[in-house]
Amino acid sequence: MISIPSIARGSRLGAGVVVAAAASLALAACGGGGGDTGTAGGQGGEGGGGEKIAVTLITKTSTNPFFIAMQQGAKEAGEKNGVSVTTAAGKADGDTDTQSKAIEASVARGDKGILITPAGPGVNSAIDNARNAGLYVIALDTPPTPPDVVDITFATDNFKAGELIGKWAAAQMDGKKATIALLDLFNDKIVSVDFNRDQGFLTGMGIDVKDKGKNGDEAKTGKYTGGKGGDYEIVCNEPTQGAPDTGKTAMENCLSKNKNINLVYTINEPSAGGASEALKDAGVKATIVSVDGGCDPGLKLVKEGVIGATSQQYPVKMAELGVEAIKKVAEGGEKPQVTPGLDFYDTGVALVTDKKVPDVDSISVAEGDKVCWGKTS
C-alpha cells in the first residue's frame, strides 16, 4: 500500500503543462487497435461500509504492449489488494468516444474509482460526471488538459523523458548538423504526453522552443547548444498515432521532403519500429530516439541498435499505485498527493542505452530489462 498525504477534492490544480509517461508511459505510450467498454478481472473486496471495492482501468488501446502491461499490473494489484478490476480500452489512440462509454459503464456499475490514460480532452466531460457521482478518478501516464480534470495523475515526467533523449542525441551528433524528423502522436488534437516529449527532446538538444505546450512552433533552422553544439534543421512534424504502420508512413512523408535526415525523434517505440523500416527501405541511416523503455519491442530494438536510446517509464508501477490509492480512499483513508514541485505524482524515468555519453545519466539495456514496465521480478 502507498501512504501519501491528502489533497483536498475541492483544491483543484491550475491548468498547466506537466510531464509526460506514461506511460508514459509509451506509451506515450500510444497506438494500436482494440476497443471495449469493460472486461472484468481481479478479485472482489469490501470497502469501509461493506461495499465491494471495484475499479475500472481504461487505457487508450488494448494492443500496445505498454497498455497490455498496465492492464496486467492492475489485475495483479487487484488480486493482491482484494479489489475487483475491470479493464476497457479505446479502439485506437485518440478514441475518446469509447473511453467515455467505458466511464459511463463504470459509474453505472457503482465502481469506487477509475484509472484512465485519457486519449484527449473529449473524455473530460465524462470524467467530470464520474467525479460528481462520487468516483475517485486517477489519470495514468497521460495527464489530462487541464490537469485538475482528474483527482490526481500518476505518470512519468514526460518532459524530462524527452529532455534525456534530447541531451543524449545532441551528444551523439558530435557537432555535426542535425537534420531532424519529429514523429509525434497527433496533429489534430493536443495531448500532454505528446507535446511534453517533443518539447522536452528539443530542449534537451538545446533548441529554443516558443511554447512548451505546443508542437511545431519552434524555428525550423538555427543552432543547437547541446553536446558540442551545431546547426540544426527540422524537416517535419508528422503524426504517428503511436503505431508501427503510421510511424512508417510518417517517416516516409519526412523522407519525401529531405533524405538527409540523420536524427529521428519518435513518440514511442512502436512508431520508432515503423520509422526504422522506412529508413531502411530508403537506404538512409539515422539515429533514432524514443520513449517507453518497454520489454518488447522497446529494449529489444535498443539492444539491436535500431533505437539508440529510449527513456524508460513504468506502467505497471502506475497501475499498482492507482489500484492501491483508490482502495485506500474507498476505505476512508488519505488521498494521494502530488510530488512536490509538480502537479502530478512522478513515477520515475531512466534513460536506457548501451552508448553512454558524458554528463547524461543512463542505465544499460541489461539493467533496463530487469525493471522494464516496472516489473519487480
The pLDDT tens digits of the residues spanning 36-54 come to 677 655 444 444 445 679 9
- Which tens digits make up the pLDDT trace of 160-183? 999 999 999 999 999 999 999 999
- Count of domains in the chain? 2
The CATH number covering residue 204 comes to 3.40.50.2300
Residues 217 and 152 occupy one common structural domain: no
- Which tens digits make up the pLDDT trace of 113-156? 999 999 999 999 999 999 999 999 999 999 998 999 999 999 99
Residue carrying the nine cell digits 466531460: 125
CB-based burial label for 57 (10 Å; 0-12, 13-18, 19+) = buried
Residues 277 and 328 occupy one common structural domain: no
Residue carrying the nine cell digits 506514461: 22
Domain contains 331 = yes
Residues 97 and 167 occupy one common structural domain: no
Residues 136 and 189 occupy one common structural domain: no
Domain contains 25 = no
Q: How far is CA 359 from CA 167, 175, 287, 355, 362, in A?
A: 9, 16, 19, 13, 9
Residues facing 351 on adjacent strands:
311
Asked if residues 162 and 312 have their Cβ atoms less than 8 Å apart, the reply is: no
Strands (E), 94-244: 113-116, 136-140, 152-155, 178-184, 221-224, 230-239
- Which tens digits make up the pLDDT trace of 346-364? 999 999 999 999 999 999 9
pLDDT above 70 covers a percentage of the chain that reads 86
- Which tens digits make up the pLDDT trace of 216-237? 999 999 999 999 999 999 999 9
Residues 228 and 362 occupy one common structural domain: yes
DSSP characters over 196-221: HHHHHHHHHHT---S-TTSSS-S-SE
pLDDT score recorded for residue 207:
98
**Quick one: which H or E segment has residue 369?**
helix 365-371
Please state, in angstroms and rounded to a whole number, the distance separating the CA atoms of residues 368 and 377.
13
Q: Are strands 221-224 and 230-239 parallel, antiparallel or unpaired?
A: antiparallel
Residues facing 232 on adjacent strands:
178, 222
Q: What angle do CA 363, 209, 197 make, to 5 degrees?
A: 35
Domain contains 15 = no
Residues 170 and 89 occupy one common structural domain: no
Q: Rounded to a whole number, what is the distance in angstroms from the first to the last CA of the chain?
A: 18
Residues 166 and 309 occupy one common structural domain: yes
DSSP annotation of 296 reads I
Residues 177 and 275 occupy one common structural domain: yes
Residues 284 and 327 occupy one common structural domain: no
Grid coordinates of 253: 512523408
Residues spanned by the domain of 44: 36-157+315-348
Residue carrying the nine cell digits 508512413: 249
pTM above 0.85, yes or no: no
Domain contains 240 = yes
Grid coordinates of 277: 523500416
pLDDT above 90 covers a percentage of the chain that reads 82
Residues 283 and 338 occupy one common structural domain: no
Residues 281 and 177 occupy one common structural domain: yes
